[in-house]
Amino acid sequence: MPASVLSKNKLRVYFVSFWLIWSAIHAWVLHEWNYTLEEAWADSIVSNALLCMASMLIITSFRYYLPRKESFTYFGLMCIVLSAICISLTRFVLAFVIKDKTLDQYTQSIPVRAAIGILILGCVILINVLLHTLQEQQEQERRKSEADRIAKDAELYKLRQQLQPHFLFNSLNSINALVVSQPAGARKMIQQLSEYLRNTLKKEEHKWVTLEEELEYLQLYLDIEKVRFGHRLSTQIQADEIAMQMKLPVLLLQPVVENAIKFGLYDTTGDIVIGIDAKSSANMLTIKIENPFDAEVSKPVKGTGFGLSSVQKRLFLLFSRNDLLNTSTRENIFVTQVKIPQQ
């Protein structure tokens, strides 16, 4: 609901001053036109108070229902009806206050009063519509720049996610260490890291690959982690023959495995096993990824962790289903299960 145009102090001052000045002019004209001073003021106050109330009615009604800017008939009718009501009510009230002779004069001046009333109410509507349009435009502009900002942030975040600076620099540091002690190992690691980066930078989000290809890529990532943490990381990868040839969206499992490494390896001490197990059933590829976690340090989030929400979203966009990603815990093992319907 838009705010009333009278919510701004400056506009409120304008509104009040207009009615005060207008009432004074009104009274002065009537006084010139043979009204006594009291009668002139009574007439002015009653008719302008009613007109003012009608204006406020318009302003308030626009907060709840703003007609389309082109509905001139509606606006015109509104002016005519409201000013007619004002004039009749004014006459009704004035009958108690002023003399009959003056009341006759009032009746004579009704056309002029009607014209003025319609004019004033028309102006009120016009200003109102203008101000609301302005407000709407500002709101729209604000929303647009906000949306732009969010989109930009998301893009930056995605880029950073892809490159994983922490992983990258630590890997480079490992190479730095290997260069002197094991030059062959250093060379191998450079090749693995390059291959991994090349794959990451490929922008083929919509491509489908076989599980075999996806696992090869994951193996690359896990091998790099093994150079860094070989003393305590081991992996168990199992997949049946049919599952190996089933297809899945490229890089879908990557964030799941990264998540497993984060909680299973970075946040734990001691030897750990990361397990990947793929099974095929009729038209469905089911992959289970298991990692241990340290309950003292990180309690697995209910539902899906932060790293997994992107996977959930991607699966939903692809299959319009929300039940394809499931997580569970078994003692200190965290299990992520991804199901991929086969087409």
Partner 1 sequence: MIKVIIIDDEPLARNIVKEYLADYAQINIAQECNDGFEGVKAIAQYRPDLIFLDIQMPKINGFEMLELLENPPAVIFTTAFDEYAIRAFETHAIDYLLKPFSKERFDKSLQKWLSQQNADKNTNAYAMLAEATVQQQLSQNRIVVKINNKIKIIPLQDICFIEAADDYVKIHTAEGQYLKNKTMQYFETLLGGEQFVRTHRSYIVNVQYITRLDPYEKDTYTAILKSGEKIPVSKPGYIKLKQVLGL
Binding site for partner 1 (CB under 8 A): 165-166, 168-170, 172-178, 180-181, 227-229, 231, 266-269, 294, 296-297, 299
User: Smallest distance from the beta carbon of 199 to partner 1, in angstroms?
Assistant: 21
User: Smallest distance from the beta carbon of 300 to partner 1, in angstroms?
Assistant: 13
Distance CA 15, CA 22 (A): 11
Residue (68 or 231) nearer to partner 1, CB: 231
Residue (41 or 167) nearer to partner 1, CB: 167
Residue (131 or 175) nearer to partner 1, CB: 175
Residue (81 or 156) nearer to partner 1, CB: 156
State the SS3 of the chain. Answer: CCCCHHHCHHHHHHHHHHHHHHHHHHHHHHHHCCCCHHHHHHHHHHHHHHHHHHHHHHHHHHHHCCCCCCCHHHHHHHHHHHHHHHHHHHHHHHHHHCCHHHHHHHHHCHHHHHHHHHHHHHHHHHHHHHHHHHHHHHHHHHHHHHHHHHHHHHHHHHHHHHHCHHHHHHHHHHHHHHHHHCHHHHHHHHHHHHHHHHHHHCCCCCCEEEHHHHHHHHHHHHHHHHHHHCCCEEEEEEECHHHHHCEEECCCCHHHHHHHHHHHHHCCCCCEEEEEEEEEECCEEEEEEEEECCCCCCCCCCCCCHHHHHHHHHHHHHHCCCCCEEEEEECCEEEEEEEEECC
Residue (146 or 271) nearer to partner 1, CB: 271
Residue (178 or 256) nearer to partner 1, CB: 178
User: Smallest distance from the beta carbon of 182 to partner 1, in angstroms?
Assistant: 10
User: Smallest distance from the beta carbon of 197 to partner 1, in angstroms?
Assistant: 15
User: Smallest distance from the beta carbon of 166 to partner 1, in angstroms?
Assistant: 5
User: Smallest distance from the beta carbon of 274 to partner 1, in angstroms?
Assistant: 15
Residue (130 or 301) nearer to partner 1, CB: 301
User: Smallest distance from the beta carbon of 173 to partner 1, in angstroms?
Assistant: 4
Half-sphere exposure of 202 (CA within 13 A, CB side): 12
Residue (42 or 186) nearer to partner 1, CB: 186
Task: For CA atoms 194, 195, 196, 198, give the dihedral sign.
Answer: positive
User: Smallest distance from the beta carbon of 224 to partner 1, in angstroms?
Assistant: 12
